[in-house]
Amino acid sequence: GAGVSQTPSNKVTEKGKYVELRCDPISGHTALYWYRQSLGQGPEFLIYFQGTGAADDSGLPNDRFFAVRPEGSVSTLKIQRTERGDSAVYLCASSSYGGLAGLWYNEQFFGPGTRLTVL
Amino acid sequence: DQQVKQNSPSLSVQEGRISILNCDYTNSMFDYFLWYKKYPAEGPTFLISISSIKDKNEDGRFTVFLNKSAKHLSLHIVPSQPGDSAVYFCAARDSGGSNYKLTFGKGTLLTVNP
């Protein structure tokens, strides 16, 4: 079956512009996560959705960042007034509910990421 | 303040030998650990995991060892193959209210030479 897909794969924008990054999770996965991976670092948590609602957005760096998941499937990460420091690979992941094992013990399946470059 | 540390940025081994990748953590609330493998231009792929109630988990050529008292885990790959060349990330989940969140180390680039 299809894995997590992300579009675009690469995005180059100018400082101050607005960008949208899209994530299509694995069909049936109720949990969706966004991470950001800066150069030389591991992925860092941004936001977690359970269904349509953002259950935890504590990792979003500031109010220029916002994410939605209106129908509980596709998610869009939105960045306003981009800055050079926003340049990174933005990774999306999804996971299913694990029943007796519990959601949290299921692995997260990652997409290939969107490489954002802010000039 | 890094809660998951992978102190070796890179490791080079010969094909057929053992690869040992190390990971240390500081948060005593972590109770589940995962290793992910990442090829260039691809997302991380889950490899193997271990719960804090165990000290070893094995899956084919991959074995993860957990030393809870030392807050240390390691991934052993034996025998190593050239296709294992990738960046390996150690990740951890905590047992508290945000136990859906993965905290990653910076990764170790493994190169397996033919």
pLDDT tens, A1-46?
589 999 999 999 999 999 999 999 999 898 999 999 999 999 999 9
| Position A96 pLDDT exceeds 60 | yes
Given this model, what pLDDT does residue B72 score? 97
Q: Identify the band that residue A55 occupies on the pLDDT scale cut at 50, 70 and 90.
A: confident
Separation of alpha carbons A15 and B41, rounded Å: 24
Residue-wise pLDDT tens digits, B65-85: 999 999 999 999 999 999 999
Separation of alpha carbons B112 and B15, rounded Å: 6
Instruction: Identify the CA nearest to B103 among candidates A57, A43, A86.
Output: A43
Given this model, what pLDDT does residue A97 score? 64
Separation of alpha carbons B77 and B71, rounded Å: 20
How much is the mean pLDDT over chain B? 94
Separation of alpha carbons B30 and A53, rounded Å: 25
Element (H, E) at A49: strand A44-50
Tokens of B53: 């109630």
| Position A98 pLDDT exceeds 60 | no
The whole-number average pLDDT for the span B90-109 is 88
Question: Across-strand partners of B34?
Answer: B49, B91
The whole-number average pLDDT for the span B30-40 is 94
The whole-number average pLDDT for the span A42-67 is 92
Contact A56 B100 (CB under 8 A): yes
Given this model, what pLDDT does residue A102 score? 53
Kind of pairing, strands B86-94 and B103-104? antiparallel
Supply the DSSP symbol for A27: T
Contact of B37 with chain A, judged by CB distance below 8 Å, is answered with: no
Contact B93 A45 (CB under 8 A): no
Given this model, what pLDDT does residue B100 score? 81
Task: List the single best residue of A5, A21, A45, A49 to mutate versus B (max B Cβ within 10 A).
Answer: A45
Contact of B112 with chain A, judged by CB distance below 8 Å, is answered with: no
CA distance A58 to chain B (A): 10
Nearest to A111 among B36, B43, B100 (CB): B43
Given this model, what pLDDT does residue A105 score? 55
The whole-number average pLDDT for the span A42-64 is 92
Residues A61-70: contacts with CB under 8 Å, at least 24 apart: A67/A34, A69/A32
The residue of chain B with its CA nearest to that of A93 is B43
